[in-house]
A = this chain, B = another copy of it.
Amino acid sequence: MNVQTLLYWVGIAAVAVNALAGVLDSRHKRMDLIGALMVGTATALGGGTVRDLLLDRPVFWVQDQTYLLAASLTGLVSFFIVRAFALQARLLLIPDAIGLALFSILGTQVALQSHAPWLVASLMGVTTGVVGGILRDILCNDVPSILLKGELYATAAWLGAISLIAMQAAGASSVLASSLAMALVLVVRLMAVRYHITLPAFGKDGCA
């Protein structure tokens, strides 16, 4: 199995993890099976979809429906598992961080291949990594959690994306730079959770 094939199947797995995360969130809102499926699918595919629309590329899951199959089958199974067991979102911490690393770095690569300028490419990486979760929270009528004060998430994605771009500009090979950048996203995210590292935020007194 070569690197391309490996990345493809890791990508499918990351889509599945995100679908599970979406279904998990929708349990707070009395959603039914198809509602939970739609939230799970939007969570799993939303980031890459928005990236592809902005870059004027064919939407990845419209071309290859394996992604949609993975998202909907995982969503289906997740619904019944989540209904039967009291799963905690915390369980998903590490799979979710791996998904974030993969999505954000692959998203940045896709944007660079589409000749997006560097700052745009780094934003496309963040978009691929976090917009699915934003869509999930909008569909559940919550303020998107990744916009609120919390352990570095979009920040980890952006640091990875920007360091990928810097390494490739400095002449590093695509495989090396991608691997290091994914590791960086993963380490920053997990360290931030472990040591409660947060960015400056608006204070509680500013609450509506």
Contacts and interface: CB of A to CB of B under 8 A. Distances in A.
Given A56-B59, A200-B83, A35 B147 contact: yes
| Identical subunits present | 3
Interface of A: 26-36, 38-39, 41, 49, 53-56, 58-59, 61-62, 65, 68-69, 72, 79-80, 82-83, 116-120, 123, 134, 138-144, 146-150, 154-155, 158, 198-204, 206-208
A62 B54 contact: yes
The 9 closest A-B pairs by CB, nearest first: A35-B147, A32-B201, A28-B208, A65-B117, A32-B199, A33-B199, A141-B143, A27-B202, A32-B149
A207 B40 CA distance: 18
B148 A201 contact: no
A42 to B, nearest CB: 10
Nearest to A144: B139
